[in-house]
Amino acid sequence: MNVHLRPMRPEDIDQVAAIDAHCFRPPWPKHSWRDELGMRNHSHLVVLCDGLLPRLPGWRRHLQLPRSRPPGERIAGYGGMWLVAGEAHISTLATHPDHRGLGYGELLLAALIRRALARQATSVVLEVRESNRVARNLYQKFGFRLFGMKAGYYREGNEDGCDMRLDLDDPEARNQVLQQCKMVRAKVIHVDTFNLIPQPFGYP
Ligand SMILES: CC(C)(COP(=O)(O)OP(=O)(O)OC[C@H]1O[C@@H](n2cnc3c(N)ncnc32)[C@H](O)[C@@H]1OP(=O)(O)O)[C@@H](O)C(=O)NCCC(=O)NCCS
């Protein structure tokens, strides 16, 4: 089994939207994924695939950049982030219900944070449902702090949102997140072409 983090591509939309429908109410409509993929300066989307990586010819083998989806590749999770004016905003993060508890969620989060650090972001922010204990644990593990509450932020269920922030300018928080990313990356053997190549080859 191989785990591969790579930039999301248009042909991934069906699989990602299917996971999204399992995880969120309401899920993003498919056109939103297409729009996000079109905003490559601001919107950063990563997918985590598991399955067998193909044998590729020449330099493509080293970068693990197949031209099309290799047979046997399944998307097990995805994450999204907007990067604007030095602030990274995690817009979405999910793993397939059959692939939870394997360290994939934290690997995806670490990939987004590494991208934010590489782009000199000074903070990472996100909203999470107050009742979402699992995700809140995950974010706290990376050093995110509860900054405030957003009343009724989630219209579905009229639930409050926790406004969580990670200050990358704070040396202590930065150190904690760097250590965490390192540990998480060491836990799951994987290839990361999301952070290797900021803009994927052949990307529209
Ligand atoms: C949140 C989510 C992405 C976590 O993904 P995952 O792949 O299961 O998580 P990991 O295996 O990487 O676990 C990472 C950390 O998450 C927390 N966590 C994971 N499962 C947990 C559980 N059942 N109970 C409590 N905390 C849990 C822990 O802090 C864990 O670290 P640990 O293993 O050192 O305890 C996943 O549960 C999910 O997709 N949920 C639905 C979508 C969602 O809520 N997304 C977040 C929106 S803000």
pLDDT at 55: 54
Distance CA(162)–CA(131), nearest Å, equals 9
pLDDT at 200: 44
pLDDT at 2: 85
Contact (Cβ atoms closer than 8 angstroms) between residue 199 and residue 166: no
Nearest to 181 by CA among 110, 95, 120: 110
Ligand 1 contacts CB of residue 188 (under 6 A): no
Type of residue found at 8: M
Ligand 1 contacts CB of residue 143 (under 6 A): no
Query: What are the sequence ranges of the domains in the chain?
Result: 2-192
Distance 43 CA to ligand 1 centre (A): 23
Distance 100 CA to ligand 1 centre (A): 7
pLDDT at 201: 45
Nearest Cα residue to atom 30 of ligand 1: 138
Ligand 1 binding pocket mutation candidate from 25, 107, 138, 176 (most atoms within 8 A of CB): 138
Interval 158-178 mean pLDDT? 96
pLDDT at 196: 81
Distance CA(3)–CA(198), nearest Å, equals 19
Task: Please state, rounded to an integer, the average pLDDT across all residues of the chain.
Answer: 89
Distance 61 CA to ligand 1 centre (A): 32
Give the side-chain half-sphere CA count within 13 A for 23: 26
Is 69 a residue whose pLDDT tops 90? no
Is 203 a residue whose pLDDT tops 60? no
pLDDT at 41: 87
Nearest Cα residue to atom 23 of ligand 1: 134
Ligand 1 contacts CB of residue 102 (under 6 A): yes
Ligand 1 binding pocket mutation candidate from 46, 132, 134 (most atoms within 8 A of CB): 134
Nearest to 182 by CA among 134, 122, 125, 113: 113
Superfamily of domain 2-192: Gcn5-related N-acetyltransferase (GNAT) (3.40.630.30)
Ligand 1 contacts CB of residue 134 (under 6 A): yes
Is 108 a residue whose pLDDT tops 70? yes
